[in-house]
Amino acid sequence: MTTPTTRILPIATASMAVTGALISGTVTAVRGTIAVKEGKMTSREVIKAVATESAGTGLATGTGIAIVGLLGIGGLAGIIGFTAIATGTKIMWDKSIGTNLTKKIES
């Protein structure tokens, strides 16, 4: 028998992953637009940065929500657990992609 949690968790995970990707993509796009106007990046580099940042942040957010949800952790422990998992996932994503595009945007 499925419980309400097992039915809701996949929906919540997907929703939060998309939300994380949209927020990250928007921030990266805005910063990238400024970097293009300043001559620090090309528009192709910005497109690649938006895609990789969106995917990485969406993956990290979804992973954090899924694991914390599966473990049934709530409250402050859930927030801390989510943050640790999402951060670790994003670090692994960034290392696996190995681009310096976001560094160009931030500089």
Confidence at residue 37, expressed as pLDDT on a 0 to 100 scale: 96
- Residue type (1 letter), 23: I
Q: Rounded to 10 degrees, what is the CA torsion of 96, 100, 106, 107?
A: 150
Confidence at residue 104, expressed as pLDDT on a 0 to 100 scale: 61
Q: Classify burial at 21, counting beta carbons within 10 Å of its beta carbon; exposed 0-12, middle 13-18, buried 19 or more.
A: buried
Confidence at residue 107, expressed as pLDDT on a 0 to 100 scale: 59
> Is the distance from CB of 23 to CB of 31 less than 8 angstroms?
no
Confidence at residue 5, expressed as pLDDT on a 0 to 100 scale: 59
Q: Rounded to 10 degrees, what is the CA torsion of 43, 47, 53, 56?
A: -150
pLDDT tens-digit readout, 67-80: 999 999 999 999 99
Q: Name residues of the chain where pLDDT drops below 70.
A: 1-6, 99-107
- Residue type (1 letter), 52: T
